[in-house]
Amino acid sequence: MPEGIYCNKQTVDTPEGVNKLLSDTSGNTYYQEMEVLDVDTDLLWKTIQNTCKSRIRTWLEICAHCGMCADSCFLYEVNGKNPKQVPAYKIQSTLGEIIKRKGKVDNALMRHAMRVAWAECSCCNRCGMYCPHGIDTGIMFGYLRGLLYNQGFVPWELKIGAGMHRAYRAQMDVTDEDFVDTFEWMVEEYEDDYPGLTVPVDKQGADIMYTVNAREVKHYPEDLAEAAILFHLAGESWTVPSKGWEQTSLAMFAGDWAACKMQVESVYEAMERLTPKRMVGTECGHAHRATVIEGPYWAGRKDGQPPAPSIHYVEWLAEALNTGRLRVDPSKRIKELVTLQDSCNYIRNHGLKRATRDIMSHIVEPGFFIEMAPNKEHNYCCGGGGGFNGIGKFRKERNIALIKKRDQILETGAKLVIAPCHNCWDAIRDLEEEYEIGIRWSFLKPLLIKMLVIPDHLKPEE
Amino acid sequence: MHDLLTGTFFWIALGICLTGMLVRFVLYFKGLSWQLDRVAYRAHPKAGLKGAVRSIYKWLIPFGTRGWQTQPFITLAFFGFHLGAVFVPLFLMGHVFFVEEKLGISLFTLSAAAGDVLSWTALAAGSLLLIRRLVLPEVRILTTWKDIMILGLSMAPFATGLLARYQVGDYGFWLNMHILCGEVLLVAIPFTKLSHVFLFFASRAQLGMDFGIKRGGMKGTKMAW
């Protein structure tokens, strides 16, 4: 059973293991080794028998082959309506084939399935809304990813990502100390402008426990300060946990369910330790889905709910604006055409379309907010979802995938795109780099900070 | 022959169909797993039921969902076919009398004219579905010989029924063929893609619960999923 040094069926659980994988530039050796990686067909079939039950088996069986899912898939559309990109075909020719052959498949089929699972489906779940039989291909691709991960057929970056969660409980090599230090340092930078601004770490019984995306700590730490400023201006009692602060889960993109459980339990432990009234997560779609929507199931919570009520940042912000705890100076509202990117992971997977539109009504001058078409739960994936953004091997395919969002944005005529999701934000940044359509993009926090009315008692002394 | 078809064969076909449907329906719901499916089915019965009913109801209405609205051609062909496929076997006068004689159950009856219209519509719509299957690349790539067989099998009772109705050639022959096709169809239901006759409700109920409990239903959104 040839297993590579880099590409194998083992999980990566330590910083050393992560570093070893990282030392293989662009995963070149990793992918070479994958070409001869054996398939443990017994394990594959046993796993399927244990985990592929009624729902997925029935979906595969009753698919009427009507092709109504075709037009729902943005990847089918941007790839010249190639029939091989029809969702039903993609899943039948991969997972369907593996099950049909009772797991007796070869290396070539597994590598093909890997390509389809990560480069031809972003698990955006849009097709599920267009199937008369209620077949959600995105869910099936999530399941297939788990089978592939288990056998070592996973893109290099996502093996690293899952390893990061295992080693650091974060999607990047950000330690708990790095997180607290960075947060405190960033808040210090702003305390002259906002007297009394602090970052309360490990405060018991606060109204809000705030969790973040490790990318903020590593790459855009000002986001941490902005969150602190907005909580401060809204007069919130809040805290961040020194452990269990990372809400994301690249392990979910990788299909490493055991790592998903480890990751989400670290956040739940923080909730149980600090007993906040609620948890608020940052502007990230997949993080919300991982921690709030799917996480309870990984952690074995029968009610499907996290230990404390948990909301996405857009829900908190809409609430703060609607209740007047944050007030926008009308003269500072956005007075240019602006559009909004709906993140699949909290629109189609948690129904949060109203909160974002409430926010728009507060921050955009009437007449300047232009909806994308289609929008809300029918919106298209940004083009980089489900891990697509981060996989070098499939960069060409990802760049093609961005075309749908590019065209949607162009149709609105807006030059500013609001993207309250890290993944969408990255994809929109990349599409501007790739296609240069002359747009700007932003999270909500920096926009809000510029337009809020600061209560007199929170203003700095002259 | 006619006695055999309307006697023993009828009972066997009906028995296999009903037992098969019941067994598969029960097995489907027994096989759902809150942890594997990641849906807390039991914890939120009200939200689940609401989602399930909504999901089934929306998809049973022509143009009731965005999926139906964006593809009017298949929607018309689909409903044209399924209206006939559901109403004619159950409510056509001849069928109702037969069922009453055999099972003692009396059902509402369709007029002969309505039966004709529905049967012709079903045949026409079925033909359009078949043409669509062969012509559109995105459907052709998915199509297997089984799909063609199933469609043919579903249309056969209409074709033979109409041939008998209009007494084209030997009435007795076409009537027997019609009954035989109907019985083969009944037997095929639990074992083929025709299982969607009942598994449609199971599958939609599951996804309805998924959305109703987890994916927005409890946030008060009303997606037509």
- Per DSSP, B141 falls in state T
Q: Mean pLDDT throughout A286-297? A: 98
Question: Looking at the predicted structure, is the pLDDT value of residue A240 above 80?
Answer: yes
Size of interface A-B (CB pairs under 8 A): 161
- Per DSSP, B218 falls in state G
**Which has the closest alpha carbon to A317: A358, A276, A289, A288?**
A358
Could you tell me if A10 and A30 are in contact, meaning their C-beta atoms sit under 8 angstroms apart? no
Q: What is the pLDDT of residues B25-74, one digit of tens each?
A: 999 999 999 999 999 999 999 999 999 999 999 999 999 999 999 999 99
Name, in order, each residue with C-beta under 8 angstroms of B7's C-beta and a sequence gap of 6 or more.
none
Ranking A69-78, A79-88, B158-167 by mean pLDDT, the lowest is B158-167
More confident residue, B92 or A180: A180
Question: Looking at the predicted structure, is the pLDDT value of residue B2 above 90?
Answer: no
Q: What is the pLDDT of residues B184-193, one digit of tens each?
A: 999 999 999 9
Partnered with residue A441 across adjacent β-strands are: A417
Q: Mean pLDDT throughout A126-143? A: 96
Q: How far is B19 from chain A (nearest CA, A)?
A: 18
Name, in order, each residue with C-beta under 8 angstroms of A240's C-beta and a sequence gap of 6 or more.
A179, A180, A183, A199, A200, A201, A202, A209, A210, A211, A212
Q: What is the pLDDT of residues A386-413, one digit of tens each?
A: 999 999 999 999 999 999 999 999 999 9
Question: What integer pLDDT is reported at residue B101 of this predicted model?
Answer: 85
In this complex, do A302 and B43 lie within 8 Å of one another by their Cβ atoms? yes
User: Which three-class secondary structure string do you get for chain A?
Assistant: CCCCCCCCCCCCCCHHHHHHHHCCHHHHHHHHHHCCCCCCHHHHHHHHHHHCCHHHHHHHHHCCCCCCCHHHCHHHHHCCCCHHHCHHHHHHHHHHHHHHCCCCCCHHHHHHHHHHHHHCCCCCCCHHHCCCCCCCHHHHHHHHHHHHHHCCCCCHHHHHHHHHHHHHCCCCCCCHHHHHHHHHHHHHHHCCCCCCCCCCECCCCCCEEEEECHHHHHCCCHHHHHHHHHHHHCCCCEEECCCCCECCCHHHHHCCHHHHHHHHHHHHHHHHHHCCCEEEECCCHHHHHHHHHHHHHHCCCCCCCCCCCEECHHHHHHHHHHCCCCCECHHHCECCCEEECCCHHHHCCCCCHHHHHHHHHHHECCCCECCCCCCHHHCCCCCCHHHHHHCHHHHHHHHHHHHHHHHHHHHHCCCEEECCCHHHHHHHHHHHHHHCCCCEEECHHHHHHHHECCCHHHCCCC
Task: Check CB contact of B102 with chain A, cutoff 8 Å.
Answer: no
Question: Looking at the predicted structure, is the pLDDT value of residue A131 above 80?
Answer: yes
Taking CB atoms and an 8 Å cutoff, what residues of chain B touch A294?
A: 38
C-alpha A73/C-alpha B168 separation (Å) is 47
Question: What integer pLDDT is reported at residue A220 of this predicted model?
Answer: 92
Question: What integer pLDDT is reported at residue B224 of this predicted model?
Answer: 72
Q: Mean pLDDT throughout A152-177? A: 97
Of chain A, the percentage scoring pLDDT greater than 70 comes to: 100
Name, in order, each residue with C-beta under 8 angstroms of A397's C-beta and a sequence gap of 6 or more.
A119, A120, A388
Rounded to 5 degrees, φ, ψ at B14 are: -65, -40
Question: Looking at the predicted structure, is the pLDDT value of residue A1 above 70?
Answer: no
Name, in order, each residue with C-beta under 8 angstroms of A324's C-beta and a sequence gap of 6 or more.
none
Search chain B and give the residue with CA nearest A293. Answer: B214
Question: Looking at the predicted structure, is the pLDDT value of residue A251 above 90?
Answer: yes
Per the prediction, chain A carries an average pLDDT of 97
Name, in order, each residue with C-beta under 8 angstroms of A369's C-beta and a sequence gap of 6 or more.
A338, A339, A340, A360, A361
pTM of the model: 0.96
Q: What is the pLDDT of residues A202-228, one digit of tens each?
A: 999 999 999 999 999 999 999 999 999
Q: What is the pLDDT of residues A103-125, one digit of tens each?
A: 999 999 999 999 999 999 999 99
* Residue A447 structure tokens: 């926009």
Q: How far is A116 from chain B (nearest CA, A)?
A: 16
Question: What integer pLDDT is reported at residue A120 of this predicted model?
Answer: 98
In this complex, do B43 and A130 lie within 8 Å of one another by their Cβ atoms? no
In this complex, do B40 and A302 lie within 8 Å of one another by their Cβ atoms? yes
Q: How far is A270 from chain B (nearest CA, A)?
A: 23
Question: Looking at the predicted structure, is the pLDDT value of residue A361 above 90?
Answer: yes
Search chain B and give the residue with CA nearest A55. Answer: B32
What value of ipTM does the predicted structure carry? Answer: 0.94
Instruction: Tell me whether the omega of the peptide bond preceding residue A374 falls within 30 degrees of 0, making it cis.
Output: yes
Task: Check CB contact of B206 with chain A, cutoff 8 Å.
Answer: yes
Q: Mean pLDDT throughout A294-319? A: 98
